[in-house]
Amino acid sequence: ILGEDALLDQLVDFIVTAQGGVLPGDMENGHATNEVKAESLFGVMDKTLHLLQMGFTEEEVSLAIDSFGQEAAVQELADSIFARRIASTIEQKQVKIESEFLGEQGEQETEYSTYHQRLNYYDDDDDNKRVKKAKHIFRDDRGASSSHAVNQPTPWLSGGVGSAGDGYLKEEDYEMTLGPRANVSGELAKPPFFLYGNVVNITKDAWSEISGFLSGVRPEFINSQLFSALMRREGYLHNLPTERRHVVVPKSPMTIEDAVPSTRHYWPTWDTRKHIGSVTSEVAGIEQLCEMLGKTIKDSRGLLSEEKRAQILHQCKMANLIWIGQDRLGPLQPNQMERILGYPSNHTNLFGLNPPDRIAAMKYAFQTDTIAYLLSVLKDIYPDGLRVLSIYSGVGGAEIALHRLGIPLKCVVSVEESDVNRKILKRWWAKTEQSGVLRQLNGIWKLKTDALEDLFKEFGGFDLVVGGNYSSYRGGTTVNATMGMDSSKYFEYVRVLQRVRSMQHFYK
């Protein structure tokens, strides 16, 4: 109504008038039917005024409203502007810092001061605010990719990311990559190494977007059934070498029967399952379901129809049911799930933790044989041991995989929100008599620049930054409606990784 050239005072006057329930135009023509329009306009103008008063430019405010719609909340619009600022400046600032360092070794102290100040700019005392600043980089609320983030590569990585097409990945997409990937070379291929694993099934477009934050590092897809009795499609973004990999020994069970030998005596021939399809922690109504299925089988007197068999198999797959007696089904127990995932016996058996909670702690955990195959190349590179920064450690899948490979752990700085999971990892560390240092942090927000500097001074840097997009425990968020995964956690991983790789130059 007032036009793009309206002054701030005019906007204020307009809003004050609108708060009285009457728009300037309405007073002249007496149109009471404009009340809805007035309310709508007031909302937009009020948001605009708030954002201008927060210090954003008119161009930034206009772009945010165009991108996220007039219905978006003020905080959401502000977060999106912050995200665009970060996406458009962080890479440029990092390029300048690294280019100065590499080109002028004699001015290291001055450059490091500049580096420290600029990285500190992105620290935030409020974890929620910092996460929100990143959320809209991935995808705006219309489902469109944010080119501001994907098209600007992080300076220490190179290469672009192409369109992965629509829809979810097909079975053939999960074949293992045999040999080096062409776009992992130069600075990207140098230590510290990184690995981010996602065990949630997401779309090709989502993979393309998260790859963009690591400058198009193509994900390596693996089906964990190649290494275990778990048939789960997994994807990993990493810069690890792919030559001279090897399988960890002794191997975990490759079939359900191997993991639970007693079940072979009761397994009907029409149940052709060899692997479980997921780690499900749903327990509501599980006893009643098993009783119902058992009654259906008994009532059939051995003459189950194909339709009934298909229905029973579907329920078995959904709830991870196995045969525990003649015509009797029951859920996998925690110790059986630990065997399938490659964890030590009773790894999750903390005092006071019931079986459903133990299963929940493992729901999105790494299958240790699978991740060990990817990490196995580090044994020859670091024969004396590794310094590990473990982001979202969960129940310690990466740490256990490295231990199973026989790689000494000089230090592990573990970030994990769940108190239960931290206790599980700490107990394993003590039971296995690790000679290194375990440092546990209860939140990613603690890894700001100053904290990382202190860790670098103490340990001299890190050789591996490993992380996974899984829940911290019951109630944690792993999947969201935006991408099919927790993009906020992924962005935090990238943020920390970026700083670690940049800081490594100064601690060589």
Residue ending a domain, choose from 326, 341, 356? 341
469, 397: one domain: yes
235, 382: one domain: yes
**H helical segments located in 201-347:** 204-212, 256-259, 286-300, 306-319, 334-341
328, 384: one domain: no
Burial 275-314 (b: 16+ CB within 10 A, else e): bbebbbbeeeebeebbeebbeebeeeeeebeeeeeeebee
| Residue 376 near residue 246 (C-beta atoms within 8 A) | yes
SS3 call for 314: helix
pLDDT at 33: 42
Phi, psi of 409 (to 5 degrees): -105, 100
pLDDT exceeding 90 applies to what percent of the chain?
A: 45
pLDDT tens digits for 459-504? 999 999 999 876 544 444 455 545 567 778 888 999 999 999 999 8
Is 70 part of a structural domain of the chain?
A: no
463, 331: one domain: no
* Secondary structure of 330-370 in HEC code, one letter for each residue: EECCHHHHHHHHCCCCCCCCCCCCCHHHHHHHCCCCCCHHH
In this predicted structure, the answer to whether residue 230 has a pLDDT above a threshold of 80 is: yes
496, 438: one domain: yes
Stretch among 174-178, 199-203, 413-417 having the lowest mean pLDDT: 174-178
Partners of 467 in the beta sheet?
196, 391
Confidence of residue 167 (pLDDT cuts 50, 70, 90): low
Confidence of residue 205 (pLDDT cuts 50, 70, 90): confident
pLDDT at 112: 47
Structural domain tally of the chain?
2
244, 286: one domain: no
Is 276 part of a structural domain of the chain?
A: yes
Mean pLDDT along residues 259-278 = 94
DSSP 39: H
Counting Cα atoms < 13 Å in the Cβ hemisphere of 242 gives: 16
pLDDT tens digits for 386-398? 999 999 999 999 9
Q: Where is mean pLDDT largest: 310-314, 400-404, 443-447?
A: 400-404
Is 143 part of a structural domain of the chain?
A: no
**H helical segments located in 69-203:** 74-103, 108-120, 127-138, 147-150
245, 267: one domain: no
pTM across the whole model: 0.70
Is 426 part of a structural domain of the chain?
A: yes
391, 493: one domain: yes
Residue ending a domain, choose from 341, 358, 393? 341
pLDDT tens digits for 147-156? 333 333 333 3
Q: Which domain holds residue 430?
A: 153-250+367-507
217, 274: one domain: no
Confidence of residue 9 (pLDDT cuts 50, 70, 90): low
Is 90 part of a structural domain of the chain?
A: no
381, 482: one domain: yes
CB neighbour list of residue 88: distance below 8 Å, 6 or more residues apart: 148, 152
> CB count, 10 Å around CB of 249?
10
Question: Amino acid letter at 228?
Answer: S
pLDDT at 397: 96
Beta-strand relationship, 321-325 and 328-331: antiparallel
Mean pLDDT along residues 418-444 = 95
